[in-house]
A and B are shown apart, each in its own frame.
Chain A
């Protein structure tokens, strides 16, 4: 009888604090746990009673990596609660801002967090000793992503210009023009990156995923009123809580989210690409074709390539938006408070981010629900570990453990995001 345990008590190169362990008993996986011990921060509770105007500033603080995703889902949800029609000129700016975040977050993950796994280093700083040019290219692209955010929102982390109804300020065309050379260069670098990522040696795996992503007119990003679920059709964003179910588990400070029937599902780059490759920007589609990646992509280790393709998409979109930009006379629409319930879903770099708010006629938040991508993917990550581990038994223990980590990182789990979310199974409050 043999007992093997693979575990890491402090997952590194992920956002936030988590651990995992897999128990194997006589070659059979008896348990797999990804647990999150990031301290809870109670966002849904502290949103209660706040003015809805403050929500974008507060929810940004859920995550330092993807604050814009939180701001975008929240303003979408609140605008739907207010039945507010956002001026058409606002949308491209929102998409541009979000492209900035995708670039910064994806590149951060690919180069600084994930690539060391493929090339055998502990960190990108170490990796830079042998692959300086590569790391510098990554840092350069990330910088451009951050510049986009800084220009539109003041700073790369927790930008300040997003408001319900639009932006507090729209940039002058001259300011946006200054981005052009950098974006063009970034696009070239992103294209090179796809080739580099595609060529990385990856373990093979083929998982039978249910993919979920926001469905709208364009490649899923800042707007879309429906959610696509592979093989099961699509639903309206408002139906989220009917189709998905969040539950708390003892070992973790994050809630787990599954399909109503209990099945685990996947959101994020793989889901988006598999569901909506046809909506990719032509430049990104070319890159996809050149990468020789075949749809559907069901190997989670390939997500690094998919992210690279999405980075191309984001750069290409950003180039187009900047070229077509006209400064709006007023970058937002004013609103009056009214009672309502609003839903909003956008695509954070890591996947679907759903917000739901109940607001009062005085413009206060009565209830908030936030479902981040990592808590949605958590069940799926554990399931993948179970599937992966039997194939690792012949490897030395530390190598096997590293492979588990590499797999977890492929999901780009954002643990800061995953904590502190509200379930509908609220026990009676006094």
Chain B
């Protein structure tokens, strides 16, 4: 679907495990890696990357759902609409004109939406991009027959386990870590910058309190709109928060 292909690439980035994976499961349709395409038939596990942003994709995902035993959607695009869902906040017509001289050549839906907005999904693996180890865990869980061990917690938990010094407290930076789903391993704080929400909101994301704190230490409302409206800005909790600060 609509994406940068980075999440599929994550599978190819499993350099140490790729060949074992190829032996353990029968990969039947993976256009990025193989020209033996077998999109027909029924699948035990289907991984889908990307958001739904064209009428054709909408049709395709319904078909995929129908032929898949388990549908696991991977990445921020597939789970929240992705960065391209920023267009959901703008006038679509105008967007088309900005990019394409003749918009009528291009087929596109007004909004970029997550897969779960259209068909039931069995598991959502978050991230922009997804984490390699988590991807392998989801596949392993599917092979072994158990629930994927993907912790449902804040980025802060990974940050602290890693021993990183909090950038909010010690550097005064804005960081979405406390309201963002873990999985990246707290990369940004480890690189001395605030989290920008690639994995989308966690459950119980108290975005309101975080925004209040940031406003209280001199950030502007426009800063808050930008902070919550980025890679996963169309995820409901972030969308709601960014709208609260719109002029």
Asked if B169 is at the interface (CB within 8 A of a chain A CB), the reply is no
**Docked-complex contact B84 and A42, CB < 8 angstroms:** yes
**Docked-complex contact A44 and B191, CB < 8 angstroms:** no
Knowing A10-B37, A140-B15 are in contact, say whether A160-B101 is a contact too (CB < 8 A).
no
**Docked-complex contact B34 and A50, CB < 8 angstroms:** no
In the docked arrangement, what's the CA distance between A429 and B7, Å?
35
The digit string for A1-39, where 1 denotes a CB below 8 A from any CB of B, is 000000000111111110000000000000000000111
**Docked-complex contact B31 and A12, CB < 8 angstroms:** yes
* Chain A interface residue bracket vs B: 35 or more
Asked if B230 is at the interface (CB within 8 A of a chain A CB), the reply is yes
Which of A12, A128, A139 is in CB contact (< 8 Å) with B15? A139
> Closest Cβ of chain A: how far from B171's Cβ, in Å?
11
**Docked-complex contact B97 and A155, CB < 8 angstroms:** no
Task: Tell me the nearest residue of chain A to B100, going by C-beta.
Answer: A248
Task: Tell me the nearest residue of chain B to A417, going by C-beta.
Answer: B4
Knowing A64-B4, A157-B6, A157-B13 are in contact, say whether A45-B87 is a contact too (CB < 8 A).
yes
Task: Tell me the nearest residue of chain A to B86, going by C-beta.
Answer: A46
In the docked arrangement, what's the CA distance between A124 and B34, Å?
7
Asked if A257 is at the interface (CB within 8 A of a chain B CB), the reply is no
Q: In residues 389-413 of chain A, which contact B (Cβ within 8 Å)?
A: 405
The total number of A-B Cβ pairs within 8 Å is 203
- Determine the chain A residues whose CB is within 8 A of the CB of B184 once the complex forms: 155
Asked if A178 is at the interface (CB within 8 A of a chain B CB), the reply is no
**Docked-complex contact B106 and A40, CB < 8 angstroms:** yes
**Docked-complex contact A155 and B129, CB < 8 angstroms:** yes
- Determine the chain A residues whose CB is within 8 A of the CB of B191 once the complex forms: 153-154, 160-161, 168-169
**Docked-complex contact A13 and B86, CB < 8 angstroms:** no
Asked if B18 is at the interface (CB within 8 A of a chain A CB), the reply is yes
> Closest Cβ of chain A: how far from B128's Cβ, in Å?
6
**Docked-complex contact B34 and A12, CB < 8 angstroms:** yes
Which of B1, B6, B36, B198 is in CB contact (< 8 Å) with A39? B1
Task: Tell me the nearest residue of chain B to A367, going by C-beta.
Answer: B98
Prevailing SS type, chain B contact patch: loop
* Chain B interface residue bracket vs A: 35 or more
**Docked-complex contact A128 and B187, CB < 8 angstroms:** no
Which of A112, A142, A416 is in CB contact (< 8 Å) with B33? A112
> Closest Cβ of chain A: how far from B2's Cβ, in Å?
4
**Docked-complex contact B6 and A67, CB < 8 angstroms:** yes
Asked if B226 is at the interface (CB within 8 A of a chain A CB), the reply is yes
- Determine the chain B residues whose CB is within 8 A of the CB of A140 once the complex forms: 15
**Docked-complex contact B5 and A44, CB < 8 angstroms:** no
Knowing A139-B18, A143-B16, A146-B13 are in contact, say whether A248-B101 is a contact too (CB < 8 A).
yes
> Closest Cβ of chain B: how far from A430's Cβ, in Å?
7
Asked if A201 is at the interface (CB within 8 A of a chain B CB), the reply is no
Asked if A422 is at the interface (CB within 8 A of a chain B CB), the reply is yes
**Docked-complex contact A125 and B22, CB < 8 angstroms:** yes
Asked if B205 is at the interface (CB within 8 A of a chain A CB), the reply is no
- Determine the chain A residues whose CB is within 8 A of the CB of B87 once the complex forms: 42, 45-46
**Docked-complex contact A39 and B54, CB < 8 angstroms:** yes
In the docked arrangement, what's the CA distance between A393 and B194, Å?
58
Task: Tell me the nearest residue of chain B to A116, going by C-beta.
Answer: B35
Indicate the member of B30, B56, B83, B94 with the most A CB atoms within 10 Å.
B83
Asked if A122 is at the interface (CB within 8 A of a chain B CB), the reply is yes
Kindly list the 3 A-B residue pairs having the minimum CB-CB distance in the complex, ordered from nearest: A64-B6, A123-B34, A122-B36
Given A40-B99, A125-B18, A154-B190, 13 other A-B contacts at CB below 8 A?
A: A11-B31, A15-B5, A15-B32, A38-B2, A45-B87, A112-B12, A126-B34, A128-B22, A136-B19, A157-B9, A169-B191, A247-B101, A427-B97
Could you jot down 24 A-B contacts, CB within 8 Å? Answer: A12-B32, A39-B54, A40-B100, A40-B106, A41-B84, A42-B99, A43-B99, A45-B94, A46-B84, A48-B98, A61-B231, A64-B9, A65-B5, A108-B12, A123-B36, A124-B33, A125-B19, A140-B15, A155-B129, A155-B131, A155-B187, A157-B129, A160-B187, A161-B193
- A interface residue numbers (CB < 8 A to B): 10-17, 37-46, 48, 50-51, 54, 57-58, 61-65, 67, 104, 108, 112-113, 116, 122-126, 128, 132, 135-136, 139-140, 142-143, 146, 153-158, 160-161, 163, 168-169, 247-251, 253, 255, 405, 416, 420-423, 425-427, 429-430
